[in-house]
């Protein structure tokens, strides 16, 4: 039995103020002047109420890399960022390429209780790109996997990619491709351009991403199956997705918060916090992906939360690991890059960070409207707040954030998951396991 919560005066999707009553894990009532015997009352005056955020691209590292992150620490970070569900990428040890591993991840997420953890299954055994993993077994397991990806590795063999697209079509699954031609990026360190040339770092050409996207669009069209493009980063990639959608291809795409805001100019100090895959691109690319997200060409924002221990980043650029943590900062970065610039409103933010990722991932009970009778999965955001992003804002096990020391707008104050407050007035709740 969950406690009753009454939030007074929240601005649903940034619009009209209303009270939100939560009882028995659901939104019991929306209105003004609500009351309920025994309910805990919270002053939410002026706070923006959004459906619980859903991240289609999270690295939780467990099992195998618990020094970087665990499912418990990662979902605590998620709750602090306003997320109520995260999709866990399969590059664990062992790789999530079987029913046993994805069911283990699901159970660990249920035990932690801070967010729904939906495993993503690997496309190929061991993410080696040689033969298909147990896609059907993972789909029919208790984890009910519907998204498959070798993220971190491109499914480079076109025949393997075609077979994967054909296989998942039977249960309306989706292949999420890490678009990176490995031959074109051998030794690559930074976006190929003026900055990489000046710094003497091997260039990472945009065509390495775009050529794989183009090939996979044609394969998805040929097979009639669903394709999702992970962490799109170039202006050319946006044009390819726009072209594919005009053709009626069942393709969706994501962009990360860091590709909406940061550029390769930040690499000039050789600070490895800014080393990521795909790399930070140019200002022209940033403007193009913003436009693509604003006009619906790009469907969602996904964090690509990629924690690493300090020693993996506190070294020379060439030896440093790729990746950034991003769960706690994602909403604030989208606020700065998209809302403050007038490109999105809060209803759009709810779409690209909640309802659309839940739909793409076939995740029931998330991405639902803030309305009576719906599951109590939402977040309350103080859009008027602002501050310097600091290590105290991080709640996972790693601190490789590119935003440390940077001014960001907003603050997530409340996250409600499964009827419980997992974040209360900006402080993580410690309540133990939840069902």
**pLDDT per position as a tens digit, 88-143:** 999 999 999 999 999 999 999 999 999 999 999 999 999 999 999 999 999 999 99
For residues 179 and 213, is the Cβ–Cβ distance under 8 A? yes
**Four-residue CA torsion sign, 213, 216, 221, 224:** negative
For the question of residue 304 being annotated catalytic, the response is yes
Cα–Cα distance for residue pair 138/102, rounded to 1 Å = 7
pLDDT tens digits along 270-318: 999 999 999 999 999 999 999 999 999 999 999 999 999 999 999 999 9
CB atoms within 10 A of CB 229: 26
Taking 60 as the threshold, does the pLDDT of residue 1 lie above it?
no
∠ CA(235), CA(192), CA(275), 5° rounding?
90
pLDDT tens digits along 32-49: 999 999 999 999 999 999
Taking 90 as the threshold, does the pLDDT of residue 435 lie above it?
no
Percent of the chain at pLDDT above 90? 97
pLDDT tens digits along 408-429: 999 999 999 999 999 999 999 9
Compute, in degrees rounded to 10, the torsion defined by CA atoms 235, 153, 349, 174.
110
The mean of the pLDDT values for the chain is 97
Cα 68 from chain centre = 18
Using left for φ > 0, alpha for ψ between -120 and 50, and beta otherwise, residue 172 falls in left
- Encode the chain in three state secondary structure: CCCCEEEEEEEECCCCEEEEEEECCEEEEEECCCCCCCCEEEECCCCEEEECEEEEEECCCCCCCCCCCCHHHHHHHHHHCCEEEEEECCCCCCCCCCHHHHHHHHHHHHHHCCCEEEECECCEHHHCCCCECCHHHHHHCCCCCCEECCCCCCCCCHHHHHHHHHHHHCCCCEEEECCCCCCCCCCCCEECCHHHHHHCCCEECHHHHHHHHHHHHHHHHHHCCEEEECCCCCHHHHHHHHHHHHHCCCEEEEECHHHHHCCHHHHHHCCHHHCCCCCCCCHHHHHHHHHHHHCCCCCEECCCECCCCHHHCCCCHHHCCCCECCCCCHHHHHHHHHHCCCCCCHHHHHHHHHHHHHHHCCCCCCCCCCCCCCECCEEEEEEEEEEECCHHHCCCCCCCCCCCCCEEEEEEEEEEECCEEEEECCEECCCCCCC
Compute, in degrees rounded to 10, the torsion defined by CA atoms 26, 31, 34, 36.
-20
CA neighbours within 13 Å on the CB side: how many for 300?
Answer: 26
Determine the pLDDT at residue 3: 81
Burial of 405 (0-12, 13-18, 19+ CB in 10 A): exposed
Residue with token string 């393709």? 251
pTM of the full structure? 0.97
Identified catalytic residue from 150, 151, 304, 393: 304
For residues 177 and 212, is the Cβ–Cβ distance under 8 A? yes
Taking 80 as the threshold, does the pLDDT of residue 11 lie above it?
yes
Burial of 358 (0-12, 13-18, 19+ CB in 10 A): buried
404: its two tokens: 């440390």
pLDDT tens digits along 79-93: 999 999 999 999 999
**pLDDT tier at 434, thresholds 50, 70, 90:** very low
Q: Please give the average per-residue pLDDT across 188-215, as a whole number.
A: 97
140: its two tokens: 């029919």
Nearest one of 355, 406, 327, 377 to 81, comparing CA atoms: 327
For residues 84 and 412, is the Cβ–Cβ distance under 8 A? no
Q: Please give the average per-residue pLDDT across 3-30, as a whole number.
A: 96
φ/ψ of residue 176, rounded to 5: -100, 110
Determine the pLDDT at residue 433: 42
Alpha carbon distance, N-terminus to C-terminus of the chain: 10
25: its two tokens: 């894990």
Q: Please give the average per-residue pLDDT across 167-187, as a whole number.
A: 98
pLDDT tens digits along 357-373: 999 999 999 999 999 99
∠ CA(55), CA(218), CA(223), 5° rounding?
85
Taking 70 as the threshold, does the pLDDT of residue 431 lie above it?
no
Determine the pLDDT at residue 430: 84
């Amino acid at each position: 039995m969950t406690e009753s919560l009454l939030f007074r005066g929240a601005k649903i999707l940034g619009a009209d103020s209303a009270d939100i009553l939560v009882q028995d894990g659901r939104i019991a009532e929306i209105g003004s002047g609500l009351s309920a015997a025994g309910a805990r009352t919270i002053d939410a005056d002026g706070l923006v109420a959004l459906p619980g955020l859903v991240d289609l691209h999270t690295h939780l590292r467990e099992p195998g890399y618990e020094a970087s992150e665990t499912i418990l620490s990662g979902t605590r970070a998620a709750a602090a960022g306003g997320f109520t569900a995260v999709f866990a990428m399969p590059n664990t040890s062992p790789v999530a390429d079987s029913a046993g591993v994805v069911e283990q991840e699901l159970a660990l997420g249920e035990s932690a209780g801070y967010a729904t953890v939906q495993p993503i299954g690997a496309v190929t055994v061991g993410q080696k790109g040689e033969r298909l993993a147990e896609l059907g077994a993972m789909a029919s397991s208790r984890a009910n996997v519907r998204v498959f990806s070798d993220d971190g590795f491109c499914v480079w063999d076109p025949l393997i990619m075609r077979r994967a697209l054909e296989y998942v079509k039977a249960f309306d699954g989706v292949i999420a491709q890490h678009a990176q031609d490995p031959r074109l990026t051998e030794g690559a360190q930074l976006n190929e351009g003026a900055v990489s040339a000046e710094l003497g770092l091997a260039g990472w050409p945009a065509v390495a991403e775009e050529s794989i996207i183009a090939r996979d669009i044609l394969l998805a069209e040929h097979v009639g199956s669903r394709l999702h493009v992970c962490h799109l980063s170039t202006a050319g990639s946006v044009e390819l997705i726009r072209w594919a959608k005009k053709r009626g291809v069942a393709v969706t795409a994501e962009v990360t918060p860091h590709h909406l805001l940061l550029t390769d100019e930040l690499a000039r100090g050789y600070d490895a916090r800014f080393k990521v895959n795909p790399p930070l691109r140019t200002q022209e690319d940033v403007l193009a992906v913003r436009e693509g997200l604003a006009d619906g060409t790009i469907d969602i924002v996904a964090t690509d939360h990629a924690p690493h221990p300090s020693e993996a980043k506190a070294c020379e650029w060439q030896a440093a690991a790729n990746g950034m943590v991003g769960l706690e900062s994602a909403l604030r970065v989208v606020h700065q890059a998209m809302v403050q610039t007038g490109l999105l409103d809060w209803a759009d933010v709810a779409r690209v960070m909640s309802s659309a990722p839940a739909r793409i991932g076939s995740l029931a009970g998330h991405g639902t409207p803030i309305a009576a009778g719906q599951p109590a999965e939402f977040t309350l955001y103080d859009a008027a707040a602002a501050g310097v992003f600091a290590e105290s804002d991080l709640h996972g096990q790693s601190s490789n954030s590119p935003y440390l020391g940077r001014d960001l707008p907003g603050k997530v104050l409340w996250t409600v998951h499964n009827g419980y407050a997992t974040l209360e007035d900006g402080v993580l709740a410690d309540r133990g396991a939840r069902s």
